[in-house]
Structure 1
Amino acid sequence: MALPGGGDYIGGDTGFAGYMGHVVLTAVVAVGLPVTAMGVLLPYLFKLAEADARGPGETVGALVMINTLAAIAGSVGAGCVLLGWLGLWPSLRLMAALYLAAALWLVVEKQPKGGSVRLAPIVGMLILITLLDTSRLPLVRTDPIEKEEMLLKVWEGADGTVAVVRQGGHLRTKLNNWYTLGGTGDTITQQIQTHLPMLLHENPKRVFYLGLGTGITAGAVLDYPVESVVVAEIAPSVIKASREFFSEYTNGLFDDPRVSVIAEDGRNVLRGAQSEFDLIISDLFIPWKAGTGTLYSVEHYQASKRRLREGGLYAQWIPLYQVTQEEFAIITRSMLEVFPTVTLWRGNFWADRPVVALIGHREAAILESSTPLLVASQRALEEHKDGVGDTVPLIAHYAGGVSKTDTNFSDAPVNTDNRPVIEYRAPINHRLEKAGRAEWFTDERMLDFMAERVNRDALATDAYLSGINPAWRDVVQAGYYFHASKALKSWEHEDADVAEQAYRDLLQQTAIELGRRALQ
């Protein structure tokens, strides 16, 4: 465990080249010797087989056949059987023991008089079960001192190592010792990932979730009169973790007869499904994680669009704190290739961990006054008439429309299955950010980008808002000021209070104006 950094994330603050060098060096030091030994095993068997009475062709053919079948059985058995049955470290110890047993058998079989040589695998066996006893190694790295982490339970399997960790007063799920799938510390953000797209649809009855995580997001849908909910999660252990530890936060998700939680690849389910949905909600998938690039591809969006009923929406949630502006532009440009209308919405107003949604509309669309989101916004706005409200109207989450002609996206490459640019660019930018040579899309550029979309000129020509009272544009602009105030405050900027006051003034003025017009 010490050789690969004690289970910690390797690479430190190096760039991509330094990170790859660190990975290669760690691999060479940790597994270089045993892999080399395994590599010479087959040629050594060829040498031992020279004394075989059969012809060389028959002997070599038999050995190659056995080696091929064993390689197939080993890869399937290790990934699909041993990891789930014994776990990571016991499986490695079992493999080492089998190799040592094979070595002992060869020594005894071919060199019956070599007593001293015969001791080598026996000594290896003793070392394996004493000094190199892997059962003492931790499965998940935790920090009980500085981070107040306590490991509650671990599942091992072909889908990875899934752990539930208590940190302070909150629970969170970790995949493969590093990748966090969510937790109870930010339930509001996770729930808004359901509430916002649900309220943007006129009457959603059938909902599909691409990814489960903790289950908090999917559980929020049960507050609505839905008929059917399908949740596809590729890792079965994540489903077990959610059911066992997060049930009190998932709103009865695993007990509701309207819900089907399936352990399947959501992308493949959507491509092969015959059912149609009103709403597809895609979880936060970090682009630099291997294999997630296909979830941002044109082909995936096309398959998803075919599964949408008339008026259907596809909600693509994106963590801006894990993407650069380049990846954000690629994802947006790819969605614009498929959906005729794409709108941008904030999932929260945080400065350091902002989350946004790209909402793809099956048909060209405008926001109607009867849309439930606007009705809910009206109720929240009423609280601000006297300047004492603290509920942010949902329309304030709107961050503008996007289009192919926008200079931020017009030159961005399109991510496809055959040309998965996200799969290559995102890991490189991830390492550049670690090295301080790139920045996540959370700084002043994010605020400038949003300001472009919600200034008065942009909002006056925003086709998506053309069907509602123009006074609502001030609420949209107020949402920007609220986000700016949070960011400026975190940066200790002197204009933070000015931005917050502008937010409150706009909401109060709009509430009064809409109330006056309602009386006319």
Structure 2
Amino acid sequence: MSEGERAPRWLGPAVLFVFALSGCSGLIYQSIWSKYLGLYLGHAAYAQSLVLAIFMGGMAIGAWWASKRSLSWLNLLRAYAVIELIIGLAAVLFHPIYQSLTTFAYDTGFAALPGPLSVQLFKWGSGALLILPQSILLGMTFPLMSSALMRRLRVGDGAVLGGLYFTNSIGAAFGALFATFVLLPTIGLPGAMRFGAGLNLVVALAAFLLARKPELPLPPEPSVTRDQTGVARVLLAAAFITGATSFVYEIGWVRMLSLVFGSTVHAFELMLAAFIGGLAFGGLWIRKRIDGYAFPIRVGGWVQIFMGLAALLSLVFYDHAFDGVAWYMRALARTPSGYDLYNVATAGISILLMAPAAFFAGMTLPLFTLSLIRSGAGEAAIGRIYAANTIGAIVGVFAAVHLMIPFLGLKLAMIAAAAGDLVLGLVLLRRETRSAQRPDGSYLGALALCGIALVATLLYARFDPAAMAAGVYRTAIARLSPDEKVLFYRDGKTASVSIRANPLGLRSISTNGKVDAAIRVAEDGKPAPDEITMVMAAALPLLHHPNPRTAAVIGFGSGLSTHTMLGDSRLERVDTIEIEPAMIEAAKAFGKYVERAYNDPRSHFHIEDARTYFSANRSKYDIILSEPSNPWVSGIASLFSEEFYDFVPHHLAPGGLLVQWIQLYEINDELVGSVVHALSKNFADYRVYLSYNSDMLIVARADGPVGDLNPEPLLSPTLRPGLSRLNIDTVPDILSHQIGDRRSFNSLFAALSRRTNSDYYPHLSLEAPIARFTSDAATTLTQLSSADLPYREVLVGLAPPSSKEIVKDNTSFSYSDAVHFVSDVATMLRKGGALEAAGNNAEAIAYLRYAVGECQVGKDTEQAMENLVLVAGRTLPLLPLEERKGVWIDPEWIHCNTQPPVVRLLLDTIAALAVRDGATVKQKASELLANKAEVRSVIVRDWLLRAAMLGAVDAKDYPGVLKLQELYGSDPDVKRNVPYRYWTINRSQELQGMQPAKPHSETE
């Protein structure tokens, strides 16, 4: 482009649009890199800090290098196009390079290193090197594009800088959201990287087309005076400080708001977008004003002060965010569309708290860059300021995560960062004061305002532990009730940990407000439901393994599982792997209930992620217990993935067992199925237990069948008391919790899901937050023990126990109570007597004894059949054979035989089911189904279809199962209990050696 030629008017907007696409791809990479490195480093918080630091550090190096080298280049836009092309190619190669690195690290690298420190250095260093080259290239883009546009347009430098900063930042904010809400659910991590690469290639092509002519040559660089050198140092220092404080804010706000919104992947990206959006609009606002400022340093001083004041104000308003979310949670419908609105609220509150300070932060870089250009630094100022700012960001990230938050807490860390901005602003104002002897009134006013604001924030910013420990995002309660006390609260490196106690003696340990475990410490108190899960998780492998010597526990929680394991004298070592040190410190509040975890010399703590620890130590364990937090928490889903279950068997000794805890609350059947599919691919056998009504435990073995239960550990004087506290004393008590095994449940999970949870296609971490919000439950599994047909016996092979064999009131576990209750109900039906104890079944029993037992049905056959199905469905699956006699086999309560034919036929069907005569069940139930004129009830028809299909399986009439489905499965009257129907179909096909049918969600 020659001196006389003017750049076309469309060039500026075209370049800004291209740079917005570049910003979008850059934040797609940052978001996806965080997911990849979260898998490698073991925690999302560490990954986010490392990615931020290396991303910003690499950009600093790139900006500095570009500022030094680009001065003599004649076509910067073409150079920019080349850089974008290389970034895109690097993105295409990222996934295979990542896989090669992590495979080497886990298989060879960690084990070859001399100690834990060297492992950490290697892990963090190699993780940094994965993204550093691309980050350096990304850092070159802003200086190259800025200089190219200033050379071509010859307009105010400030307008160009502000415009580019805005478009790049707004593209980045969009990229962060687009990556998480669109790309990850549809194409996974590798696909998202390829999409970002495609954007880079588009940007490179557009830049090549725009760069057909070179820029105008640069005027000669002016000589720099001593005063100008001093100004440059001040401005570079200011850029460094504001970069550091900005990222302390970002880390601090994310941690603060995680206590309000939950630590989900969605919440993090919304917070990140709010922060970047604030930066973008700060750049936009300053764009049209910056060239008119006579003293940009002075303006920069005021901007720094306003930035610090806005950050302090966010701390004052922070406490109200809990009330806002509580109100919003109560107002929203707990539906997927309600979750979308919840995300809107998350974004709105994040913007209110974060955007004002980020808005002022967005002005600083253009202001300081322009000031440096005017001081005589020339075009190189762009890269120098950018480099100083990003180096400050690195310092801010690491200082916040590893020093300020753990040692000062969130409140003081944020106040310290704000104080840094206020002091910087005052220093810049003082430097620009016209009188060197006496500060002017505005400076003194600013000084007073800063002092008052800091003191007021220290006094009035409420970081109330009762709110921060309440988990408002789950409970819709803004703060704990006055009678609940917070015994412990600490902001750790990865999460905020608290212990709270209620008047009933229940103590709960929470991370970021989410309760992870609870123990009732009152001497005469009934055990908490969580206790049976934690104790059984430890006891089951001890009962299944013939001679366990070593065990590892992933996730400390309350410490009760580790404590319980150490009650077995056969164990020589128990290693507990926990990522957050504050968890181990907090759990001491549970006292004697977890004391062996702290005092037993066989107990060892390791602050590390599980994959790194196992790989580095090359240990093989007889038992590995994986009991992490819920999979909706960002980063946790990787402990429920196919890749994790492929990794674990390498660290199990021959015959070793994995115990996997899976929640059945705040999740759905399909997601649980995707986890079990992942496990099943890598383990030869497993047994499935319900610890209580909403927690599932899987005992799995990779190299052979899981052995039968061994009763000897139940006699251990140190293990037995913990089990007896939960009314578990015998093997039948344990077996009452079993609901299935691999042989029977592969077909069930095939009916629930065809997806497999994977690290690289993380639908569990993306969809579990929605299930949490909608309060879903994996009902097919939670209701299996109380199902209205004997699925456990026919499809699994688990006959119901006698009420004499198992203890009643089995601590929040309904199955054992149900066995005793149903035994009483059967006695009432057979012999009569007071029916009050039958609860909701009393009316149905009274009706059956009179109407059916005395042949008084009359014409109301529908009511009779519905009551028969209700009581038979309640009792048949839970009564042992001897207790079915006199109730359904030769029923003693029926004193006549003149019931209507359809009622008589239904009684015959139930009797055949009671003796487990599958062929007769199928035949008689089919007759009733065919008689739609008289058998109209939806409840009865649904039950009959499932009973006929179950009878066909029991009779080994496998083709008959599908025939029944074809005849009656599409009937709109039988749309209930679809998963159980498909389980029956899949089991029948499995027994024939056929592929199971599709999940019901794909066919119904």
Please state which band the TM-score falls in when normalised by the shorter chain: 0.7 to 0.9
* 1:252-267 → structure 2 map (5 Å cutoff): 252-267=596-611
The answer as to 2:797 corresponding to 1:456 is: no
SS in 1 for 2:499: strand
Deviation of 1:329 after TM superposition, in Å, equals: 0.9
1:209–1:337 CA distance, 2 compared to 1 (3 A): same
1:431 equivalent in alignment to 2:769: no
* Change in CA separation of 1:31 and 1:125 when aligned onto 2, cut-off 3 Å: farther
Alignment match, 2:501? 166
Q: Once structures 1 and 2 are overlaid, which stretch shifts more, 60-69 or 132-141?
A: 132-141
Residue of structure 2 in register with 1:468 after alignment: none
1:413 corresponds to: 755
**Distance in 2 between the 1:98 and 1:450 partners?**
62
**What residue number does 1:229 align with?**
574
Inter-partner Cα distance in structure 2 for 1:399 and 1:33: 54
The two structures, once aligned, show a CA RMSD in angstroms of: 3.6
Partner in structure 1 of residue 319 of structure 2? 2
Q: State the Cα deviation string for residues 253-296 of structure 1 (Å, max 9, x = none).
A: 21211111111112332344311001111115311111111000
Give the equivalent residue in structure 2 for 1:518: none
**Over residues 337-361 of structure 1, what are the superposed CA-to-partner deviations in whole Å (9 max), with x where a residue is unaligned?**
111112211112x4xxx21112221
Counterparts of 1:64-143 in structure 2, within 5 Å, are 64-112=386-434, 115-118=440-443, 119-120=445-446, 122-130=448-456, 133=459, 136-141=462-467
Cross-structure match for 2:900: none
**How far, CA to CA, are the matches of 1:16 and 1:147 in structure 2?**
30
- Is the CA contact (8 Å cut-off) linking 1:7 and 1:140 kept in structure 2? no
With over 3 angstroms needed to count, the CA separation of the structure-2 counterparts of 1:9 and 1:265, relative to structure 1, is farther
Sequence identity of aligned pairs in percent?
Answer: 21
Helix, strand or coil for the counterpart of 2:321?
Answer: coil
Secondary structure in 2 matching 1:79: helix
Contact 1:205–1:227 (8 Å) recurs in 2: yes
Deviates further, 138-147 or 174-183: 138-147
1:295 pairs with one of 614, 639, 642: 639
Match of 1:393 in 2: 733
Check whether the contact 2:550–2:574 (CA below 8 A) recurs between aligned residues: yes
Please say if residues 339 and 363 of structure 1, whose CA atoms lie closer than 8 Å, have aligned partners that are also in contact.
Answer: yes
Structure 2 CA distance for partners of 1:7 and 1:227, relative to 1, 3 Å: farther
CA contact (8 A) 1:323 1:426 kept: yes
Q: 2:361 aligns with which of 8, 26, 38?
A: 38
**2:701 aligned residue:** 361
DSSP 3-state at the match of 1:321? coil
Q: What is the identity, as a one-letter code, of the residue corresponding to 1:44?
A: L
1:368-425, Cα deviation, whole Å (9 max, x unpaired): 4xx4159959xxxxxxxxxx99966212211012458515326421111111121111
Larger fraction in strand: 1
Are 2:516 and 1:180 aligned? yes
How far apart are the structure 1 equivalents of 2:746 and 2:590? 44
Matched, 1:482 2:827: no
User: Separation in 1 of the partners of 2:510 and 2:706?
Assistant: 39
Do residues 20 (structure 1) and 361 (structure 2) align? no
- Quote the offset at 1:365 in angstroms: 0.9
d(CA) in 2 for partners of 1:307, 1:210: 13
1-structure distance, mates of 2:566, 2:324:
38
Give me the whole-angstrom Cα distance separating, in 2, the residues matched to 1:10 and 1:476.
49
Comparing 138-147 and 357-366, the one that deviates more: 138-147
Provide the rounded CA distance (Å) in 2 between the counterparts of 1:3 and 1:136: 9
User: What is the aligned residue count?
Assistant: 474
Residue 155 in 1 paired to residue 490 in 2? yes
CA distance in 2, matches of 1:153, 1:405: 43
In structure 2, how many angstroms separate the alpha carbons of the residues matched to 1:252 and 1:390?
21
In the TM superposition, what are the counterparts of 1:462-473 in structure 2 within 5 Å?
Answer: 473=799
Q: 1:52 to 1:375 in 2, by over 3 A?
A: closer
Are the equivalent residues in 1 in contact too, given 2:668–2:771 (CA < 8 A)?
Answer: yes
Distance 2:643 2:446 in 1: 56
Deviation at 1:117, TM superposition (A): 3.6
Larger Rg: 2
CA shift digits 1:5-52 (9 cap, x unpaired): 259668515422111101100011111100111121111111222332
Q: Secondary structure at the match of 2:841?
A: coil
Structure 2 residue ranges without an equivalent (≥5)? 1-317, 333-337, 471-478, 521-526, 716-726, 807-813, 826-837, 846-870, 885-1004
Shift of 1:174: 1.7
Asked if residue 306 in structure 1 is aligned to residue 640 in structure 2, the reply is: no
Deviations 1:76-120 (A, max 9, x none): 001110011211101111111111111111111124358344223
Whole-angstrom CA distance in 2 between matches of 1:56 and 1:375? 76
Shift of 1:493: 3.9
Please tell me whether the aligned partners of residues 10 and 23 of structure 1 are also in contact (alpha carbons under 8 angstroms): no
Cα distance between partner residues in 1 of 2:623 and 2:841: 42
The 2-side partners of 1:125 and 1:492 are apart by 68
Which residue identity lines up with residue 277 of structure 1 in the other structure? Y
Measured against aligned partners, the alpha-carbon deviations of 1:307-341 in whole angstroms (never above 9, x if no partner) come to 11111111111121232112111111111111111
TM-score where L is the length of structure 1: 0.81
Q: 1:458 to 1:32 in 2, by over 3 A?
A: same
Does the Cα contact within 8 Å between 2:685 and 2:705 map onto a contact in 1? yes
Tell me if structure 2 keeps the 8 A contact 1:83–1:157: yes
The answer to whether residue 545 in structure 2 is matched with residue 201 in structure 1 is yes
TM-aligned CA deviation for residue 128 of structure 1 = 2.5
The structure richer in helix per residue is 2
Aligned-residue offset at 1:157: 2.3
Deviating more after overlay: 337-346 vs 229-238: 337-346
- Kept in 2, the 8 Å contact 1:103–1:121? The answer is no
Q: Secondary structure of the equivalent of 2:749? A: coil
Letter in 1 for 2:373: E
Q: Which amino acid in structure 2 is aligned with residue 105 of structure 1?
A: V
Deviation for aligned residue 1:445 = 6.5
Contact 1:159 1:236 in 2 (8 A): no
How far apart in 2 are the matches of 1:9 and 1:158?
Answer: 27
Name the SS of the counterpart of 1:36 in structure 2.
Answer: helix
Offset of residue 201 of structure 1: 1.3
Residue 627 (structure 2) pairs with residue 283 (structure 1): yes
TM, length-normalised to structure 2: 0.44
Once the two structures are TM-superposed, the CA of residue 459 in structure 1 deviates from its matched residue by 3.6
C-alpha contact 1:201 1:313 (8 A) present in aligned 2 = yes
| Long gaps (5+) in structure 1 | 378-387, 434-438, 461-471, 511-520
For residues 451-508 of structure 1, the C-alpha deviation after alignment (integer angstroms, 9 at most, x for no partner) is 4784432244xxxxxxxxxxx734399988536569999x974289989988996499
User: Compared with structure 1, are the counterparts of its residues 492 and 42 closer, same or farther at alpha carbon in structure 2 (3 Å cutoff)?
Assistant: farther
Name which of structure 1's ranges 405-414 and 80-89 shifts more when overlaid on structure 2.
405-414
Query: Partner of 2:777 in structure 1?
Result: 440
**Counterpart secondary structure, 1:104:** helix
* 1:47-66 map, 5 Å: 47-57=370-380, 59-66=381-388
